Amino acid sequence: MTRTDVTTAAIALAERDGLDALTMRRLAAELGCAPMSLYTHVRNRDDLVDAIVARLIERLGLHEVAGESWQESVRRTLRAYRELAVALPRSFELLALAPYDTTPVAPHLATVIAGLERSGLRPEQARQILGIVDAYATGFLVVWARSRPEGRAAARGAAASGAPDAPEAGDLAGMRELATFDHGLEALIAGLDATLVQPA
């Protein structure tokens, strides 16, 4: 068993049973080993979470594209986050809500900021823009990931009961569709370009 094996099993457990199920005891049961044997590979649950976050960052597959505008860089980065949220909706929350100063996150953000600077942004602009788009993506995608199964169940229940407010509920549910995320991203980029980047 390796640290990679432990991390892979942890992600699978979180996706199947939720983040509350991600305990060292449950993970050991998944791997068919004694809980103490896990500590050979991860120091504690916080270290396990760091390992998961590092794996998720790796899975994003982000790389700098020469000559790319900051707008395209932001689009590509946030689309990668969106795809990760779709693929691993429960584990995604560990990355989305991870503190900026943790070991796997800080180098990742520094790389993104450096890429934005090379696209023509000043350092303070790059930091501001990353902070704003990260807050947008985190808020939207975490809410989307948490409400996804419950939203579908509620919609099915309303349709089955013939409740008079079912159409309105369906319309409101559409506000959390991923197409809305994409529209919001374009509006956000346009607003940032107009208010933070373009000269007054």
Q: What is the mean pLDDT of residues 179-187?
A: 95
Buried b (16+ CB within 10 A) or exposed e, 158-176: beeeeeeebeebeeeeeeb
pLDDT tens, residue by residue, 46-86 = 999 999 999 999 999 998 888 999 999 999 999 999 999 99
Residue 69's pLDDT is 96
pLDDT tier, 200 (very low <50, low <70, confident <90, very high otherwise): very low
Contact 51, 3 (CB under 8 A): yes
pLDDT tens, residue by residue, 92-146 = 999 999 999 999 999 999 999 999 999 999 999 999 999 999 999 999 999 999 9
Buried b (16+ CB within 10 A) or exposed e, 15-35: eeeeeeebebebbbebbeeee
Superfamily of domain 65-197: Tetracycline Repressor, domain 2 (1.10.357.10)
Answer positive or negative: Cα dihedral of 174, 135, 115, 107. Answer: negative
Q: What is the mean pLDDT of residues 153-178?
A: 54
Read off the pTM.
0.85
